């Protein structure tokens, strides 16, 4: 186990399918857990919006959305630097092939599932067309994986130019797509381009930010949360979210708050489950749409006329049930070859031939 910053534990990385062992940093996993909890929570509220049961969560959806994805993409980039600085063939073999396999398999699942299930996270394109367009038009249910593929490839080129240039270009792109000045016409691609700056920022400052966060105390976390809260309050009060630069600044505040809070959570006795969840974000992301449908069916059976006084607590409870359900399904299905990682035959096929 190589040296890392903060409390570490040896694990095979969730986003790798090879045999490499790395040291995982507990606070980074905790930050990923915070992000995936927000992802599931907001998708729960989105579905609530369709059923008229949002409670008082509806007005906060936009602000929470500005928090979860910047944090998710930032944490995804924190340990990407090593593979990005290796030859392109190595990146394609060790990282891109894994992400591509997962993306294609689960995109096919989503396209087929929408024929039989009322999935919010599915594409509205005809199934045959959606399958053909998977490489260039991501489905809403799997777009995050597609975005990671794009980010890794673009970051491979970005780390080969001065950091100021790479980050400068990514920032301009982010500002343009976040404010709607530019659009591809596809929301998932727009979000991919907007969030590139967070991934690339993590790659460039990882060596500094990991020890910096590891050395902080609780008051740094409090200050960061207050900073994000104050910024979010001003943005909400004056409806500033779509003003050029506002979403980016709010995203940076979210990254700081998420990382610093995660550092404190990871050090608390009894909260090891948070980091454990962060090590299993991939199956939760892939499965949550389907588990959430089951949770909704149960809730609609229990509360056929609405939840009444329980409406405001319904979304958090459903989020917890959905995540628990995802982890259970993953435990029952993780031995299925190719479901959550590249199959062995593909790993063997991509292995470079030994030198003659």
Per-residue pLDDT, averaged over 80-103, amounts to 97
Query: Do residues 121 and 178 lie in contact, with contact meaning Cβ atoms separated by under 8 Å?
Result: no
Distance from C-alpha of 240 to C-alpha of 57, rounded to nearest angstrom = 19
Q: What is the pLDDT of residue 74?
A: 98
Q: What is the pLDDT of residue 123?
A: 64
Kindly report, residue by residue over 147-189, the tens digit of the pLDDT: 999 999 999 999 999 999 999 999 999 999 999 999 999 999 9
Kindly report, residue by residue over 266-301, the tens digit of the pLDDT: 999 999 999 999 999 999 999 999 999 999 888 888
Distance from C-alpha of 334 to C-alpha of 343, rounded to nearest angstrom = 12
Q: What is the pLDDT of residue 4?
A: 33
Whether the predicted pLDDT of 212 surpasses 60? yes
Question: 47 is written with which tokens?
Answer: 């579905």
- Residue 272: other Cβ atoms inside 10 A: 15
Question: Among 293, 277, 278, 283, which residue's Cα sits nearest to residue 326?
Answer: 283
Distance from C-alpha of 4 to C-alpha of 210, rounded to nearest angstrom = 8
Q: Is 352 exposed, middle or buried (0-12, 13-18, 19+ CB in 10 A)?
A: exposed
Find residue 290's DSSP bridge partners. none
What would you measure as the largest C-alpha separation in the chain, in angstroms? 72
Mean pLDDT of all residues belonging to the chain: 89
Q: Return the percentage of the chain with pLDDT > 90, whole number.
A: 71
Query: Do residues 196 and 175 lie in contact, with contact meaning Cβ atoms separated by under 8 Å?
Result: no
64: pLDDT confidence band, cut at 50, 70 and 90? confident
Distance from C-alpha of 202 to C-alpha of 198, rounded to nearest angstrom = 6
Kindly report, residue by residue over 217-239, the tens digit of the pLDDT: 999 999 999 999 999 999 999 99
Q: What is the pLDDT of residue 126?
A: 82
| Domain boundaries of the chain, sorted by first residue | 8-348
Q: At 10, is the secondary structure helix, strand, or coil?
A: strand
Kindly report, residue by residue over 299-343, the tens digit of the pLDDT: 888 887 777 777 788 889 999 999 999 999 999 999 999 999 999
Whether the predicted pLDDT of 47 surpasses 80? no
Distance from C-alpha of 144 to C-alpha of 103, rounded to nearest angstrom = 9
Find residue 10's DSSP bridge partners. 23
């Amino acid at each position: 186990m190589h040296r890392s910053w903060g409390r570490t534990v040896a694990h095979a990385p969730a986003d790798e399918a090879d045999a490499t062992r790395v040291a995982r940093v507990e606070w980074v996993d905790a930050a990923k857990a915070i992000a995936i909890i927000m992802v599931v929570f907001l998708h729960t509220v989105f579905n609530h919006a369709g059923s008229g049961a949002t409670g008082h969560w509806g007005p906060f959806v936009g602000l929470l959305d500005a928090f979860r994805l910047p944090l998710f993409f930032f944490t995804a980039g924190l340990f990407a630097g090593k593979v990005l600085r290796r030859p392109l063939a190595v990146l394609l073999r060790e990282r891109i092939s894994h992400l591509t396999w997962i993306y294609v398999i689960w995109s096919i699942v989503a396209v087929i599932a929408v024929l039989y299930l009322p999935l919010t996270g599915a594409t509205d394109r005809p199934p045959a067309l959606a399958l053909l367009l998977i490489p260039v038009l991501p489905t809403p249910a799997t777009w995050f994986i597609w975005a990671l593929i794009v980010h890794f490839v673009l970051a491979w080129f970005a780390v080969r130019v001065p950091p100021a240039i790479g980050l400068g270009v990514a920032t301009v792109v982010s500002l343009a797509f976040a404010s709607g000045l530019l659009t591809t016409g596809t929301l998932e691609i727009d979000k991919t381009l907007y969030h590139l700056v967070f991934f690339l920022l993590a790659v460039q400052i990882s060596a500094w930010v990991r020890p910096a966060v590891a050395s902080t105390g609780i008051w740094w976390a409090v200050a960061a949360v207050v900073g994000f809260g104050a910024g979010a309050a001003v943005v909400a009060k004056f409806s500033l979210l779509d003003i050029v630069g506002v979403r980016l600044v709010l995203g940076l505040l979210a990254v700081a708050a998420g990382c610093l809070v995660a550092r404190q959570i990871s050090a608390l006795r009894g909260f090891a489950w948070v980091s454990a969840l962060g090590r299993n974000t991939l199956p939760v992301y892939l499965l949550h749409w389907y588990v959430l449908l089951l949770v909704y069916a149960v809730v609609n059976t229990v509360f056929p006329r609405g939840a009444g006084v329980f409406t405001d607590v319904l979304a958090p409870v459903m989020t917890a049930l959905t995540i628990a359900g995802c982890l259970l399904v993953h435990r029952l299905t993780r031995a299925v070859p190719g479901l959550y990682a590249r199959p062995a035959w593909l790993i063997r096929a991509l292995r470079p031939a030994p030198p003659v």
